[in-house]
Structure 1
Amino acid sequence: MTRTDIFDKVVAVAKEYMGDDIALTENTSIQDGFVDSVQLMEFIISLEDAFDIEINDTDADHFTQLKDVVDYILLKKES
């Protein structure tokens, strides 16, 4: 799975929560895109399901932009 594939899939999951009309880039802030921490947690759970990985809370706390999510998933998939 390439970085582009991962980013596209992360965007698809993010749009379920942020809406389809938002243009998302790797620099999109995660905190700005979600209404509250519950919605953010649902996003993380959806990512776990979409990529068949586990994201621990400590790691998720360090996600500030979508690129952080992509980098994390890329590392998980490589190991």
Structure 2
Amino acid sequence: MTKEAIFERISTLIKDQLHKPELTVTTETTLQEDLGVDSIALMEFIISLEDEFGLEIPDEDVEDMTCMGDMLNYLDKRLK
């Protein structure tokens, strides 16, 4: 799976979860500041990512993810 395809999928997931299909999401978009994702919404998003990509994301790895680019890079490495 290409990085572009991964990013497209995670962008769609976060837009669906937030019920905001009009959002513009870039790799620099931060989860908390730009999207207003709280800790509960973040965990729901991580669960969606785990289901979508068929992998488990440990909590300690999530702590290092502050923007969509961090998630993209993490998933790209894990999926290779």
User: TM over 0.5: same fold?
Assistant: yes
Q: Which runs of 5+ in 2 are unaligned?
A: none
What is the aligned partner in structure 1 of residue 2 from structure 2?
Answer: 2
| Aligned-residue offset at 1:72 | 0.4
CA distance in 2, matches of 1:35, 1:55: 18
Most deviating of 26-35 and 64-73: 26-35
Matches within 5 A, 1:1-79: 1-18=1-18, 19-32=20-33, 33-78=35-80
Distance apart, 1:35 and its partner CA: 4.0
Structure with a larger share of its residues in helix: 1
Secondary structure in structure 1 of the residue aligned to 2:79? helix
- Same amino acid, percent of matched pairs: 37
CA contact (8 A) 1:34 1:40 kept: no
Runs of 4+ in 1 over 4 A off after TM superposition: none
Report the aligned-residue RMSD. Answer: 1.0
Shift of 1:54: 0.7
Q: Secondary structure at the match of 1:30?
A: coil
TM-score by length of 1: 0.92
Question: Residues of 2 paired with 1:3 and 1:61: CA distance?
Answer: 21
Contact 1:17/1:34 (CA < 8 Å) preserved in 2?
no
